[in-house]
Amino acid sequence: MASEIVGERRRTNAALQKGEKGRLNMTMTVTFLVVTDDVFATREDVLLNTANAPVVGMTYGPLGLQCISKSIERLDEHALYWEMTCEFDSAKNEYEQDPENPVSPDPTTWLTIIEWNHSTENWMSKAADVNGNMYANTAGELIDPLPQTRRTLCSTEFTQFESSDLTLKSFADRNNTINSPAFYGFPEHCLLLNVLNSTLGIYNGFPCWSVRYRLTYAPQFSWGVNTVGGWITPYVSFGWNYKAGGSLELYMTPKGNHIFGPLDVNGNKTADPPNANDAHKFTRQEYNQLDFRTFIRTP
C-alpha cells in the first residue's frame, strides 16, 4: 500500500499570539487531501506511512512549525481518498531533525535540544575559595568550622527516544554519572546526569524507550595548581595526628599544644609553626564517569 498528499482542502485556519518572554507563537490547522492506491488501506497505514505527510513532533513547511497532532478520516464519496488534519505550533520543541535524515519519523534518530530551564540549590563546604586561597585566619590556621557556600546550579530536563534493544539496567547504569570527556561545550566532570524515568512503548509507530534525563552543571574552580570540575570534591589534608617513622604521633606545636594541623602529601607535619596554606590539596571522585556523547544526541 502507498499513499501520498496530493493537495490541501480549502478549510484552514491560523492564529498568532503572544507567548512566553514576549515571543510570538503561531498556530495553524491544515487539512490535506491524501490518496492511496488500495481501497482496503488501513487507518494505521495512512496515518503513519503517508510519504510526504507531517510527522508529529517534527517541524514542517516553510515556517518550520512543529506538528503537534494529526488525524485522518476517509471520504464517503471515494474510498481511495482521505482527509488528514494536522495542527502546527511554532513553540520551541525539544527535538530537531537530524540533518542527515531530515524526514525520518523514527524518534530514535531525532536530535535533542538542550535548554537550561531549571535551577537547583545546594550547600558546599570547602577549605578554599574559587581561586584556591585557603580559608585560614591570620595565624595561618584553618578556620573551624569551615564556611559553607550556597550554590545555585543550572539544570535541564529533556526526553530522548532510544532503541528498544536497551534494558532497564542500561539506564540505571547511566544514573548519577559525570561527563568525561567534555560534552556539548562543557569541560569534563562538570555535568551530573540523572535518569528520571524510562518507559518502553510504541512512539510514532516505532517500538522504543522514552527516557527522561536531567543534567546539572557545576562550574570549575581552582584547586592548588590545578583546575578541577565542579562534581569533583576538593579536600585538604589536615589531622590531629601525623606520620612519624611508620607510626602516628600527636600533632603538637613547639609549645606543646595539640592542634588539628596541616599535613604534606605523605602525611607528615609541615613547617613549624604550621600554616594552612602548606597543607596538601587533593580531590576525590564520588561519581562514575561516562562519555555522554555515546548516547545523548545533540545537534
Q: How many helices (H) and strands (E) does the chain have?
A: 2, 21
Residue 99: partners with Cβ closer than 8 Å, 6 or more residues away: none
pLDDT by residue, tens only, the chain of 299 residues: 789 999 999 888 888 887 665 667 889 999 999 999 999 999 999 998 898 898 887 778 888 788 889 999 999 999 999 999 999 988 756 666 666 665 567 888 888 878 887 888 877 777 777 777 788 888 777 887 888 878 889 999 999 999 999 999 999 999 999 999 999 999 999 999 999 999 999 887 789 999 999 999 999 887 777 888 889 988 889 999 999 988 999 999 888 889 889 999 999 999 888 888 888 988 889 999 999 999 999 88
First to last CA, the chain: 34
Element (H, E) at 105: none
Tell me what pLDDT residue 55 has: 84
What's residue 119's pLDDT? 83
pLDDT at residue 65, as a whole number:
85
pLDDT score at 135: 84
DSSP alpha helices (H): ranges in the chain?
Answer: 43-49, 168-174
Please tell me the total number of residues recorded for the chain in this structure. 299
pLDDT at 16: 84
Residue 103 is predicted with a pLDDT of 58
Q: Please, which residues bridge with residue 168 across strands?
A: none
Contacts made by residues 176-182, CB under 8 angstroms, sequence distance 24+: 176/287, 176/288, 177/287, 177/288, 177/289, 177/290, 178/229, 178/231, 178/285, 178/287, 178/288, 178/289, 178/290, 179/289, 179/290, 179/291, 179/292, 180/289, 180/290, 180/291, 181/291, 181/293
Q: What's this model's pTM, rounded to 2 decimal places?
A: 0.71
Tell me, what's the pLDDT at 272?
82
pLDDT of residue 130: 72
Rg of the chain taking only CA atoms, in angstroms: 30
Please name the amino acid found at residue 132: G
